[in-house]
Structure 1
C-alpha cells in the first residue's frame, strides 16, 4: 500500500502560515493566503462541475492565478493536465482528446486558442476570471493523498512524433524535491526564481519544492535577463533554474559584474553548457551546476554537486540520492561505464509510464529502469557525461523538438513527397530546426512550406529554413539518416 500523507500546501499552511509563498511584482501571498484562495477556488470548481478523478487542463502563462488554480485542483482531487501555451490549437486539441480532459481552464489572453482547441470536443472552457465570479459550492476538500496517486500530466513528443502524456505522481514530485534538497542543501533564506514556464517540469518542480520546503518563490511571467539579474541583486534570490541560452543572455546583461555572495546556485538544464560559458561564470564567481533530467524524471535526476562543479566541467554529475543511473549497451543490454551507451535511470521520481499508452510504457520502462534513448558514458568516478540527447533530438532554447513531429507536419503539404529535419547550431538558441524536402512541384517555395507549418506546429518547432533536394540520405533499410542531412548543404 502506498504511503499516505497530507496534501503539500495543506500541511505547509499549518507549519509556516505566515511565510511568503509566492511573489510576483507587487503581489505577494503567504502560504496561509495561498491555501485559503485555493480552498475557495476549489469550491467554485466544484460548482462548475469539476470532480475528483477528472482530467482538467490548464492553459496559461505564468501567473499567481495559475498557481492558485494548480493547488485548487489538488483540493478537488482532479488530475492536472499542464498544457504548453506555445502549441497550436490542433496540438492542444490532440492532448485534450488523448487525456480525455473534461474542463479546460485558461487565462483570458488565451481564451480564443482554448476555444479553438476545444472545438468539437466534449470539453468545457472556463477563463480564470469567469471561474472566480462563480458561486462557491460546499465541498470537503481532499486533505490527504497517496504518493502513488497521479497528480499531473505533461506531454512530451516521442521519437515517432506522437506526443505522450507522462504521468507524474505526488510521490514523483515529493522525491524529486527531496533529492534536490539533499544535493543542494536547504537554507532558511532560500528564494527560488521561476522564469521558466510552469507548464514545463522545470517550472512546476520549483512550485512543488516551494510548498514542501516552505520556500519563497519569485515568479516572472517569462525570462528577461535584465529583470532576472536585478532580482538576483536586489530581491534576495538564491537559486535560479535556466537553460544554456538564458545563461549567455544573463552574462551579456551583467556586463562583468559579480553576483552577490548570497546567490548560491544557477541550475542549468536543457543540454550541456559550453566550456567558455562555464569558465566565464567561474571568473565571476557565479556557481553553475549542470543537470540532466526530463519530464519522465520529474525534473533533474543527475546533478553536479557543488564541490565538483569546477573539477568535472562538462559533466552532468551523479544521480540524486534516491535515484540511480546506469549506462547500458544497446547490443547486449549489459552495464557499461567507460564506454558510450544508452542512459537508463531508476528511482522514486521516475514516472510509472505514459497515459493510455501501455505499449510505449513497456517499451520505455523495463525491469524498473527508464530507457531514456540518450547516449552517454560514466567516468571511473561515476560522473555522467551526456553525449547526445536522444540522437535526433533538437534542443532549441531549452525546448525539446523531435524531428519526426515536424516531418509528419511537412508531408501533409500537397507538394511534399519526403521530408527530413535536423538541428542547425545557432548562437542564440543553441539549435534551430531546419528541413530538407523532396517536392513534386516546381511552383512551391520556402515561404509556402513555412506558412503550412505555422498552421500545424508551435512557432518554435517551425523550420527556420527549408531546403529543396532531389533525394534524402537513407540506409540499406531505407531508414532516414538525419545525421547526414546537413552534408547536403556542402
Structure 2
C-alpha cells in the first residue's frame, strides 16, 4: 500500500466526506481522488513516466495536495521546495535533483525566468493560478502549462503504474553540515508507514478536523497535518500561512479537533490571551515539533486553552516522526516522548553500543520510516546509516519508562522557528563577499523564534556596513537563514590549532 492507493481506498469508503477545506470551499474525497487521477493522467500525456523527478514549489493550497498525490500516483519522484527560497537556492536543488518539470505558482515565474538558462533539463513549468493576473514571461511560454490544463488533459480511464513500496517517492532537501543541501530519499513505504503509524499513535480518525498551518513543503506538516488525516478519512483545514487570527477563526468555524505547530506558533497563540479560549473549545489535541518547546510555554498554553500538547521528535531522514508523548498516560514536560508504533529509538555511545538508562549519547532510529539514503551522496549516506540504524547526530538520554529527552542538538545547528539552519551554509555566503576575510556564525536565544542567526565577521574594508552584508545575504538565502545581526571583530577567537572557538563568541553578542 502507498499514499495514493490509500487515498483511493478512503475515497471509496467516504466519497461524500470533506477531504479538505480551503478558503471556505469544501472538497470531498471523491472530488479529490478524481482530480488526483486526472492530474496523474495529464502528466502522463505530456510524456512523464514512473521515476521522473518533479519539483513542487507551491504554498499551502489544493494545488499542493493534488500536485503531490497526482505525481505520486503516476510514480513520479517529488521534490518539495520552499517557495521563499532564492533563485540561487532553487537552482542548486533543481539541478542536483535532476528535475524535469516544476509545478509552481504564477507569481514565482519571474524567479524561474531568471535561472531557466541554468536548468536545461526542465521541460515544463506547470503553473498554478494565484488569481493575481500574472502572465508568463515570453521566454518561458513554450514551456508553460497551466495546472488546469493538465487536469483537462487527464482521462478518468487512467490506469496507475505498478509501484513497489521501496520505490523512491520524495526527495527532501535538508541543509548539510558542509553547506551543501542533502536530499533525503524517502520511499513509498517510508511515507505510508509513518503517516499510518502517526495517525494510529495519535488516534487521528475520520471525525478529526486538522488545521494545516505549517508549510506543506515541510515534512512535519506533510506527514502529521496532511497524510495522517487523509489516511483515515479526516478533514484537513488548509491555511495558506500561519496567522493566529486565521487559526482561531478556522478552528471555531469548522470545529477543529487537532492543531500542529512549532513552539513559535504556540507562543503567538498564547499572546492572543484568554479571549480566544472558546475558539479552541473543540480542539482535543495539540502537537508540537520542529524544536524543543520551553516547559514554561507548554504550561502557559495548556493553562489558557485547557488542551493537552503532545510534544514529539522527528527529522526529514525519518519521514519524520520517531517519538511522541503518548496520549494514554501523563505527559512528561521537556520530553519528546516514547517511540511510536513500529519505530525503535535508542541512545548509543561513540562505538554504537547502547548506553545505560539516564546516560547521554547519540539518538539513533530504526524502522520502516527511515530513508533510503541521501541522493547522489553515498559517503554521507554511509555516515548516517549504519547496520540499519539512522544516526541522528542529536544527543539524548532515556529514562526508565522509555521517555527520551534531547539534551543537545546536532553540532552547531541553529533552529529558527523550527527550521534547521547550519552555520556553514550562511558562512559560505558571507565568505563570498569580497569585503569579508573571516566569518563565524552561531545561534543566539530569541524570544520570537527560539534562536536567531548571529554572524561575526572580520572585514578588509572598514566602509562595509551591517546593512550591506544583510542585503547581500538576502540575495542568496531564504529569510529565516539571514543573520539577525552582524558583529564586526578585529579577529575571531581561535585555539592553538587555528580552530574558531564558537563558544567564546557568545560573550560578544549584543544584549
Residues 1:126 and 2:145 aligned together? no
* CA offsets 1:73-116 (integer angstroms, 9 cap, x no match): 12222111101112111100000010100011111122222333
> Against the structure 1 CA distance between its residues 257 and 26, is the aligned structure 2 distance closer, same or farther, given a 3 Å change threshold?
closer
How big is the shift at 1:8? 2.4
SS of residue in 2 equivalent to 1:408: helix
Match of 1:434 in 2: 454
Shift of residue 358, structure 1, vs aligned partner: 0.8
Q: Secondary structure at the match of 1:145?
A: coil
Which deviates the most, 253-262 or 72-81? 253-262
Separation in 2, partners of 1:379, 1:448: 49
CA drift of 1:144 comes to 5.0
For the Cα contact (< 8 Å) 1:301–1:319, is it kept in 2? yes
1:225 aligns with 2:241: no
CA deviations 1:436-465 (Å, max 9, x no partner) are: 011122121111211111111112111111
- CA deviation string 1:409-433 (max 9, x = no partner): 1100011111110111111111110
Matched, 1:197 2:215: yes
Contact 1:436–1:469 under 8 Å retained in 2: yes
Local SS of the residue matching 1:97: helix
TM (norm. structure 1) is 0.94
CA distance in 1, matches of 2:456, 2:400: 41
Residue 405 of structure 1 deviates from its aligned partner by: 0.4
Q: Give CA-to-partner distance per residue, 1:185-206, whole Å, 9 cap, x none.
A: 2344111110011111012113
What do the CA deviations read for 1:164-191 (whole angstroms, capped 9, x no partner)? 1111111111211222133212344111
CA contact (8 A) 1:423 1:432 kept: yes
Out of 187, 194, 197, the position equivalent to 1:176 is 194
After superposition, the CA RMSD in angstroms is 2.0
Secondary structure of the residue that 1:109 maps to in structure 2? helix
Does the CA contact (< 8 Å) of 2:214 and 2:261 recur in 1?
Answer: yes
User: Which sections of structure 2, spanning at least 5 residues, go unmatched?
Assistant: 130-145
Q: Give 1:380 deviation, angstroms.
A: 2.1
- Out of 255, 258, 274, the residue aligned to residue 236 of structure 1 is 255
Q: Secondary structure at the match of 1:382?
A: coil
Q: What whole-Å deviation, never above 9, does each CA across 1:306-353 have from its counterpart, x for those lacking one?
A: 24454x1111111112111111123x3321131211111111111121
1:15-26 equivalence runs, <5 A:
15-26=13-24
Whole-Å Cα distance in 2 between the matches of residues 326 and 480 of structure 1?
Answer: 32
The alignment status of 1:210 with 2:208, answered yes or no, reads no
Q: 1:256 to 1:479 in 2, by over 3 A?
A: farther
Indicate how the Cα distance of structure 1 residues 57 and 322 shifts in structure 2: closer, same or farther if over 3 A, else same. Answer: same
Q: TM-score, with normalisation over the residues of structure 2?
A: 0.90
Structure 1 residues 453 and 306, CA, compared in 2 at 3 Å: closer, same or farther? Answer: same
Q: 1:302 aligns with which of 323, 340, 343?
A: 323
Between 335-344 and 467-476, the greater mean CA deviation after superposition: 467-476
SS in 1 for 2:272: helix
User: 1:443-462 residue pairs with structure 2 within 5 A?
Assistant: 443-462=463-482
Tell me which residue corresponds to 2:301: 281
Q: Deviations over 1:42-90 (max 9, x none)?
A: 2322233322210001111111122111111122221111011121111
Q: How many residues align?
A: 486
Q: Tell me if structure 2 keeps the 8 A contact 1:4–1:144.
A: no
Is the contact made by 2:220 and 2:290 (CA closer than 8 Å) also made in structure 1? no
2:137 maps to what in 1?
none
Deviation string, structure 1 residues 260-314 (Cα, Å, up to 9, x no partner): 553111100122211211221232312111111111111221111124454x111
Are residues 376 and 366 of structure 1, via their aligned partners in 2, closer, same or farther at CA, if it must alter by over 3 Å? same
Alignment partner, residue 390 of structure 1: 410
CA contact (8 A) 1:346 1:370 kept: yes
Structure 1 contact 7–144 (Cα < 8 Å) conserved:
no
Moved over 6 A (4+): 3-6
